């Protein structure tokens, strides 16, 4: 089965989220966890951004030896030299050179002609190859670039020594069918060379980052750039955990695999949340608090009988300790009976009915019922029944 590389840019693009900056120690902690997760490449930072970022990339490169380390550089001499310095300690370094290729970016932001852009791409990739064996080229805003010019830029990058071509949907503008078609056209133009890896890097401005990344896989892309929890500029990047589980659960559809240890997904997510202080939305796919929580009675009954009825992957498979049957106004009696048993109460049908009445009444007031609430209800109902039985026995004697 074909292998899709996971290029993790949590420490670089993810860190560019407002308020998500990480110091060197935090980057090292996260990098160690990414290595445990089994990502194929860690992009550790943007060395030209600051001396601190350069030193953080160096520190990660020294600490993490079994995963290739990448550093970002604009197609500028100073950027390339800074990245080269940062990558010196890396066992397997990769320089990631980028330049915008859309006319909008070239004219409004860079003030470059297309010819000047091609010259910069070629010369800076050649410069990078003087320092590292592996250079990746990213055509910023590829999704809004004239396709013929994009193909030409990729050709120049390959001829100059790049072996990875990343075509980002930088502003989250693409839709899956057109994003996939872009890669097919580039592959056809280049003659589909076997030594070149195509890469996708998608942003989530329209909520399509994961869908676009998966469409790229169908189009022959074999590297996906993504971040833990989907953090990143603006609305974020494609979420690593969602891509990983989609490729695993729908392996029959995509026909590819990753080397990720899925059981480390939840731990990776929680560590990043701890480092950044960003709370994960409860309804976040795979790692959110509600991803394996069930309140509706019909769902709970199905889960009790066979978890596959409402879970396409088990919580344990992604490192979540266990599923939860949430007691609320939508809950059913079967879930309540199981919850009572877990607390040590074996309720009769009559006791269950009374507990259920009280639970639903409480849930109407407080949205859900905590374990201590259920314990109090069960204790009162079952204790009352025990007292009543004792009184009846005493009266009979």
pLDDT at residue 201, as a whole number: 98
Q: Is the pLDDT of residue 91 over 70?
A: yes
pLDDT at residue 117, as a whole number: 98
More confident residue, 342 or 88: 88
Residue whose structure tokens are 């009825």: 309
Nearest-angstrom CA–CA distance, 339 and 333: 10
What confidence tens digit (pLDDT) does each residue in 166-177 have? 999 999 999 999
| Beta-strand pair 41-45/256-257 | unpaired
- Per-residue pLDDT, averaged over 309-313, amounts to 95
Do 166 and 223 form a contact (C-beta atoms < 8 A)? yes
Q: What are phi and psi of 45, to 5 degrees?
A: 165, -175
Go through the domains of the chain in sequence order and give each one's CATH number: 2-276 (3.20.20.70), 293-391 (no CATH)
- Closest to 178 measured CA to CA, from 143, 228, 149, 140: 143
- Closest to 104 measured CA to CA, from 153, 145, 71, 72: 145
Helix axes 114-129, 147-159, angle to 10 degrees: 30
Q: Is the pLDDT of residue 395 over 80?
A: no
Nearest-angstrom CA–CA distance, 345 and 339: 9
Q: Is the pLDDT of residue 385 over 80?
A: no
Nearest-angstrom CA–CA distance, 167 and 146: 12
What confidence tens digit (pLDDT) does each residue in 40-79 have? 999 999 999 999 999 999 999 999 999 999 999 999 999 9
Chain-centroid distance of CA 131 in Å reads 31
Chain-centroid distance of CA 172 in Å reads 16
What confidence tens digit (pLDDT) does each residue in 149-192 have? 999 999 999 999 999 999 999 999 999 999 999 999 999 999 99
- Closest to 351 measured CA to CA, from 320, 329, 382, 376: 382
- Closest to 291 measured CA to CA, from 267, 275, 315, 319: 315
Query: What DSSP element (H or E) covers 320?
Result: none
């Amino acid at each position: 089965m074909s292998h899709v590389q996971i290029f993790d840019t949590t420490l670089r693009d993810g860190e560019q989220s407002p308020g998500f900056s990480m110091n060197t120690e935090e980057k090292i902690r996260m990098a160690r966890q990414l290595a445990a997760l089994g990502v194929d490449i860690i992009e550790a930072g943007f060395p030209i951004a600051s001396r601190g970022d350069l030193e953080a990339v160096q520190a990660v490169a020294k600490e993490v030896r079994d995963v290739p380390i990448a550093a970002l550089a604009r197609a500028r001499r100073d950027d390339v030299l800074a990245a080269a310095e940062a990558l010196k300690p890396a066992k397997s370094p990769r320089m990631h050179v980028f330049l915008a290729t859309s006319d909008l970016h070239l004219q409004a932001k860079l003030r470059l002609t297309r010819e000047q852009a091609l010259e910069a791409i070629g010369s800076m990739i050649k410069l990078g190859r003087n320092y590292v064996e592996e250079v990746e080229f990213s055509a910023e805003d590829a999704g809004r670039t004239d396709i013929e010019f994009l193909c030409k830029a990729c050709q120049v990058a390959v001829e100059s020594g790049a072996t990875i071509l990343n075509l980002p949907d930088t502003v989250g503008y693409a839709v899956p069918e057109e994003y996939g078609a872009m890669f097919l056209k580039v592959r056809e133009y280049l003659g589909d060379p076997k030594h070149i890896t195509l890469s996708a890097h998608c942003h989530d401005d329209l909520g399509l980052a994961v869908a676009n990344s998966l469409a790229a896989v169908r189009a022959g892309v074999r590297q996906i750039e993504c971040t833990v929890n989907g953090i990143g500029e603006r609305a974020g990047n494609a979420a690593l955990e969602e891509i990983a589980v989609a490729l695993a659960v729908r392996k029959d559809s995509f026909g590819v695999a990753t080397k990720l240890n899925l059981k480390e997904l939840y731990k990776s997510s929680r560590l990043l949340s701890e480092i950044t202080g960003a709370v994960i939305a409860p309804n976040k796919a795979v790692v959110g608090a509600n991803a394996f929580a069930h309140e509706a009675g019909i769902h709970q009954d199905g889960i009790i009988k066979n978890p596959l009825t409402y879970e396409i992957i088990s919580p344990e498979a992604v490192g979540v300790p266990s599923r939860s049957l949430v007691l609320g106004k939508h809950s059913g009696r079967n879930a309540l009976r199981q919850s009572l048993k877990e607390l040590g109460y074996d309720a009769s049908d009559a006791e269950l009915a009374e507990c259920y009445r009280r639970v639903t009444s409480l849930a109407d007031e407080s949205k859900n019922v905590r374990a201590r609430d259920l314990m109090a209800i069960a204790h009162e109902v079952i204790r009352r029944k025990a007292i009543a039985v004792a009184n009846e026995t005493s009266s009979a004697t």
